[in-house]
Amino acid sequence: MRDFSKSKKIVIKIGTNTLTKNNKLNVEYIANIAGQIATIKSQGYQPLLVSSGAIGFGAREMGIEKKVKKTRLKQACAAIGQPILVHSYRTEFQKYNIHIAQVLLTREALDNRDTYVNLKTAVEALLEMGVVPIFNENDSVSTSEIEPYIGDNDQLSAHIASKLDADLLIILTDVDALYDKNPNHFPDAKPIRVVEELTEEIVANAGGAGSSFATGGMKTKIMAVRIARKAGCRTVLAHGMAPDVVPRVLSGEEIGTLFLADKQKMPNKARWILNATPRGKLTIDAGAEAAIRLNKSLLPSGIVSVEGEFSKGDVILINDKFKAIAGSDSSNMRQIIGVHSREIKNILGEAKRDVICRSQEIIPIPE
């Protein structure tokens, strides 16, 4: 039996397909989901929604029939569709006396420690007021060329769950579970009810390298699960159209697929480092790499090269194997490549730190 009685913060992701009927916004579905959210809220859960649909509904509003491909058009459609979407949620939630809030995010806002802390504080305040926050990506300002989130609310929802320390992520989609093989091709395919570990086989089946029976959209869902797992957050993947799906999932019913979390929850700061987009790259020698593996700080003597322009506090890559917080900016780092720590003050002045990255801020990237 699944037990979510100790879970409180629940992130629920709803995809564009689930929200669409006859090529239009499915208002009945929004009404239905508002009722489900009202139910779980009355049971003491704190729901947070991540809703897609802005681009699609914006396009429909403007009479655009084809799938929008050009970035500038997508951005324009998102700006048109987002208020339509949120208006609909507001109307339906009002019937249950529930206030909603719109929170639009970019990868940059989540990567930057200051804006992320602001976000966390604001969302905590919303939840304390009993408001249901509805998240989406701020598609009009973030593009796939600049930031790698756009078009992927699966991963966005997992980042939200991770950064806001949610207990459960529910991804509502148009498949009813993860299968052991593609159910469209194999009639004997069986749904997997519990996934304890994200094995190579599961990742490959979801459409990764070597995939032979990928089902559409499963890959980004597995990537989302991977992010949530590290945050100690379980994920349930379920069919968005299954009646009363959200309250049923929370009551412990065996629907969809439950992905368990990593046994050891990674600390919040380490997760933030690992999930951030690196702004630069260091190549370090074998001795320095061995030292940081033993939890030593990275000293300038071990640096071979510095790539990119970054500021102190940004996340950088080290040998493509670690992510870390830069202890100084890229121009200072370039000046002290390979030098002994005692030389730093002669080159950069008294106040400079002698480490490039502090040991507790260097996180190995999982294989």
In angstroms, what is the minimal distance from the CB of 238 to ligand GLU? Answer: 17
Q: Measure Cα distances from 88 to 62, 154, 241 in Å.
A: 18, 22, 18
In angstroms, what is the minimal distance from the CB of 51 to ligand GLU? Answer: 7
Helices (H), 4-70: 16-19, 27-42, 54-61
DSSP code at position 290 = H
d(CA 236, CA 246): 10
Q: Residue 272: phi, psi to the nearest 5?
A: -60, -40
In angstroms, what is the minimal distance from the CB of 55 to ligand GLU? Answer: 3
Q: Which residues bind ligand GLU (CB under 6 A)?
A: 15-16, 52-56, 78, 136-137, 139, 151-153
Residue with tokens 């239905």: 32
Nearer to ligand GLU, 78 or 324 (CB): 78
User: Quick one: CA torsion of 226, 231, 233, 236, rounded to 10 degrees?
Assistant: -20
Nearer to ligand GLU, 15 or 302 (CB): 15
Contact 249, 236 (CB under 8 A): yes
Nearer to ligand GLU, 55 or 222 (CB): 55
In angstroms, what is the minimal distance from the CB of 58 to ligand GLU? Answer: 8
In angstroms, what is the minimal distance from the CB of 262 to ligand GLU? Answer: 24
Nearer to ligand GLU, 55 or 298 (CB): 55
Task: Please give the biggest Cα pair distance in the chain.
Answer: 72
Query: Read out DSSP for 75-132?
Result: HHHHHHHHHHHHHHHHHHHHTTT--EEEEEE-HHHHHSHHHHHHHHHHHHHHHHTT-E
Nearer to ligand GLU, 19 or 316 (CB): 19
In angstroms, what is the minimal distance from the CB of 84 to ligand GLU? Answer: 11
Nearer to ligand GLU, 14 or 348 (CB): 14
